Amino acid sequence: MRRFNLLFSIGLLMVCFLLTGCPKKKPPIEPEAIDTTTTVTPDVPEEEETTTIPTTPEELKESQFKTVYFDFDKYNLRPDGKAALDFNYDLLAAHTDVIIKIEGHCDERGTVEYNLSLGEKRARAAQDYLVGLGVKPGRITVISYGKERPVDPRHNEEAWDKNRRDEFRIISQ
């Protein structure tokens, strides 16, 4: 249904563009038509015509989203995680057509099954928080990669801290 709506909207925009066409260029002013007898005093500013041209917001980039980090063996949101999600909410509120995927990740400790489950709980915690702030649930999907995609492959606490995270990917905009 979303694809149909998207394709319909694109088609409608294309039809509107084809019907209206590009604006016509004004013909250049002939040199003979310029009145050179009028003088303008420099100390009297001319009023400028102001028009507001609606602009589309810049395209959202995945690098703009903040990563949410978790404590060992936990999926509850820390205060810094909530702050990151508040920031991400502002991005999503400004780009209402963006659909995202939240990826839950874990460190290497624990079984594959356990970490897949924990990663999903982490992603769902972030999803629930964003939905609670007002993001429509249909704009967010979740997936867990468990311990399969570490951002830091080392085997120490510093690396494990970086690997316990939620990352945000843009599915469409």
Quickly count: other Cβ atoms within 10 Å of residue 135's Cβ: 20
Average pLDDT, the chain: 82
pLDDT for position 58: 81
Tracing tokens 């599915």 back to the chain, one arrives at 171
pLDDT for position 51: 44
Flag whether pLDDT at 54 surpasses 50. Answer: no
Ramachandran angles phi, psi of 164, nearest 5°: -85, 95
**Host H or E run for residue 90:** helix 79-94
Token pair in block for residue 28 = 């250049």
CA angle (128, 134, 139) in 5-degree steps: 70
Q: Is residue 146 within 8 Å of residue 112, measured between CB atoms?
A: yes
pLDDT for position 53: 38
Identify the CATH class of 65-172.
Answer: alpha beta
pLDDT for position 17: 47
Nearest-angstrom CA–CA distance, 135 and 94:
11
pLDDT tier, 34 (very low <50, low <70, confident <90, very high otherwise): very low
pLDDT tens track for 84-124: 999 999 999 999 999 999 999 999 999 999 999 999 999 99
Question: DSSP assignment, residue 148?
Answer: S
Q: List C-alpha distances in Å: 143 to 18, 41, 63, 102, 103.
A: 41, 68, 19, 6, 5
- The domain spans of the chain are 65-172
